[in-house]
Amino acid sequence: MTALDPATTTSGLSQLYRDLRSDLLRFLVARLGDPGEAEEVVQDLYLRIHALAEGPVANGRAYLYRAAQNLAFDKVRERRRRLTREGQWVGLHHPSSPGTEPIDRRADAETMMVDREEATALFAAIATLPPGAGRVFRLHKLDGVPHADIAHQLGISRSGVEKHLAVAMAHLRRAMIDR
Amino acid sequence: MSDDVILETAASWHVRQGADDMDWLAFEAWLEADPRHRGAFDDVAMLDFDIDHHRDRLRQVQSSIAPVDRAQRWWRPLLLASGAVAAVGVVTVVARQPDSSEPRATGIASSYQATATSRDVRVAGAGITLAPGSGIKVHDDDAPRIALTGRAVFAVRHDPARTLTVRAAGYAIRDVGTRFEVVAGAGTIRVRVAEGELAIHAVAADHGEVRVRAGQMATGLADGTITMAASTTAALDGWRNGPLVYDAMPLGLVIADVARATGRPVRADSAVAQRPFSGVLAQGDSAAMIDTLATLAGLEARRRGETIYLGDRVRR
């Protein structure tokens, strides 16, 4: 964070939301590829701003885009979960019945096993990161050190930190598909 | 664009989205340019989510920071001080383990606590403003020692004959004549210096002393590592009448601050405690503060008994 914009109060945020609503909607359509879901998210965003009562935020526009982005990601996860679940039902030759919640009936043990396998695969993939990207990735993603502090510690620019992180994420993604 | 290039570009957008200068319109244009872009971005976002989900497990073996044994870290100052315990007073205990029996101390000991509002205290040659819910214990003699829980601003006149030490969250701050703010909680500390200079070190770790000068801030994590950055916010005690401003502050510390400000039991899940948070929170209604923080940080609030836990959104 560089200079702080004057804090935007929630009423200011609601005004900003009204000003940016069509921009946010257009962004969400691009992000989700589904106008219906985009409309749901933009509505949800409005409700959330109102639930905030009186909390001012720094940089209202970035805040609204980030919040929209977070809510959109929830939709993406929901979709993927649905796909996995349906896939698993088919794979197990169980009839898929809408309205029931199969995930609850799936043994916890199985979920834990899949979880552990995933962690092991990630562990192995992280070990193969190029040294520079690996170092920045560990500092940021595992130890929670902010980009700016990493830049300072390693004597590189912030965009250098971002480049290392992007290389690491792309590398890990490839490693996780190839396993 | 090849799939590799798409994936790398998606990753670049992903790592930039936390920055205030993220170009959202350019990101939107990139998403619109090719339907494959959206899929690649989803993949990276899901991967990031999975990494966060497994963070504690991965951290145990992959951390770049050499872990310091918690128990050892805790007890070492006591053992090293051995005979001197009574005289020195080892006030570290106060911040880390409030329910432990306190070592017996000699000299004049006094404590001050701020409840619903902030409180000004003049003690041991220092002017101290305590934030709501914060407290200090003072041993005032030739080398005054102050144990802090919570958040406070210190103004200390330099006196070579009497060096003041502030202890909080396992860290010791040696003052060299300065005005500074300390926020401590959840084993983590943030020190911002407005004037003068001070020195800070983790009491149990051998990382050595770090000097913090005017305009700088230091963040000490639970494992004894200290990182430095330029302090971007101006007033030290802006929170007195205004909102709480956070600049890349570890979430554990932010949440401890909110718990103190609201008097509500709010805690951070360990997976998110060290993650940096930047933003502004208005002081006031506890539910609104917690909700704002959760939304800004992309976290989810869960209630277990009386306590509210803020953590990553649950994966279902």
Count of other CB atoms within 10 angstroms of residue A152: 17
Residues A78 and A117 in one domain: no
Residue A101: inside a domain: no
What pLDDT does residue A51 have? 64
Residue A122: inside a domain: yes
pLDDT tens, chain A, 179 aa long: 333 344 555 567 788 888 999 999 999 999 999 999 999 999 988 888 776 544 556 678 888 898 899 999 999 998 888 876 665 544 343 344 444 444 444 556 667 777 778 888 888 889 889 989 999 999 899 888 889 889 988 999 999 999 999 999 999 999 998 77
Judge: A31–B28 Cβ closer than 8 Å, yes or no.
yes
Judge: A138–B63 Cβ closer than 8 Å, yes or no.
yes
What pLDDT does residue B170 have? 86
Domain termination residue (choose one: A35, A57, A86): A86
What pLDDT does residue A170 have? 96
Cα angle A98, A99, A103 (rounded to 5 degrees) comes to: 90
Residue A4: inside a domain: no
Residue A100: inside a domain: no
Residue A74: inside a domain: yes
Domain termination residue (choose one: A86, A119, A134): A86
CATH number at residue A162: 1.10.10.10
pLDDT tens, chain B, 316 aa long: 688 899 999 999 999 998 888 999 999 999 999 999 999 999 999 999 999 888 877 876 544 433 333 333 333 333 333 333 222 222 222 223 233 333 333 445 678 887 767 788 888 778 898 887 788 988 877 788 899 988 999 988 877 777 888 999 888 998 767 888 999 887 789 999 888 888 898 887 766 788 898 888 898 887 788 888 887 656 677 777 677 778 788 898 898 888 887 777 888 888 888 888 888 888 777 788 888 888 888 888 888 877 888 988 875 5
What pLDDT does residue B59 have? 74
Eight-state DSSP code of residue B14: H
The residue type of B301 is A
Tally of structural domains, chain A:
2
B67 touching chain A per CB within 8 A: no
DSSP SS3 for A14: helix
Structural domain of residue A165, as residue ranges?
Answer: 107-178
Range B242-316 has CATH code 3.55.50.30: yes
Per-window interface: A 71-130 vs B, CB < 8 A:
73-74, 76-77, 80-81, 103, 115, 118-119, 122-123, 126-127
Both tokens of B134, joined, read: 């914060």
What is the least distance, in Å, from the CA of A70 to any CA of chain B? 7
Residues A113 and A72 in one domain: no
Q: What are the backbone angles phi and psi of residue B18, rounded to the nearest 5°? A: -80, -15
Q: What residue ranges do the domains of chain B occupy?
A: 3-53, 64-240, 242-316
Q: Is the dihedral of CA B123, B128, B129, B134 positive or negative?
A: negative
Judge: B281–A55 Cβ closer than 8 Å, yes or no.
yes
CATH number at residue A56: 1.10.1740
**CATH, range B64-240:** 2.60.120.1440
What pLDDT does residue B235 have? 67
What pLDDT does residue A119 have? 84
